[in-house]
């Protein structure tokens, strides 16, 4: 069994035009010996966002703190509050945005084949 605390994991910081105000921490993945899945923690600052994209693997997302707005393939926006979850299907276009004035965090689990 491997344990840890997110604050001890170095973040990858994104602050560009396509992805802004986002930190990603790989909490559990291949380096920890996970054979099937990768668990990441994303921190999104107020006004921050991921890019609008798709890929051939699924996501399972759980909002840990704050609120995240999810934009789906039809452009429809839905705000997920702390404790909410969403399943993003393979090849489904999506984006995560923090339209609030507080920091938001969400866990995102993907298959190992999806990278980190």
> pLDDT tens digit string along 9-63?
999 999 999 999 999 999 999 999 999 999 999 999 999 999 999 999 999 999 9
pTM (2 d.p.):
0.94
Residue 65 within any structural domain of the chain: yes
Domain span holding position 81: 9-99
47 lies in some domain: yes
Looking at residue 45, which CATH number applies to its domain? 2.60.120.10
Give the contacts of 109 (CB within 8 A, at least 6 positions apart): 37, 38, 39, 40, 59, 60, 61
The percent of residues above 90 in pLDDT, for the chain, comes to: 95
In a domain, 111, yes or no: no
Average pLDDT, whole number, for the chain?
Answer: 96
- pLDDT at residue 116 in the model: 75
DSSP 11: P
Total domains present in the chain: 1
In a domain, 63, yes or no: yes
Is there a domain that residue 104 lies in? no
Residue 25 is assigned to a structural domain of this protein? yes
């Amino acid at each position: 069994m491997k344990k840890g605390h997110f604050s001890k994991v170095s973040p990858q910081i994104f602050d560009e035009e396509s992805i802004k105000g986002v930190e990603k921490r790989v909490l559990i993945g291949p380096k920890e010996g996970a054979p099937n899945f990768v668990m990441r923690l994303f921190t999104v600052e107020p006004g921050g966002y991921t890019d609008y994209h798709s890929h051939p693997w699924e996501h399972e997302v759980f909002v840990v703190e704050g609120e995240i707005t999810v934009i789906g393939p039809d452009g429809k926006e839905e705000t997920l509050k702390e404790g909410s979850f969403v399943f993003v299907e393979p090849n489904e276009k999506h984006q995560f945005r923090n339209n609030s004035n507080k920091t938001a965090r969400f866990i995102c689990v993907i298959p190992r084949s999806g990278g980190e």
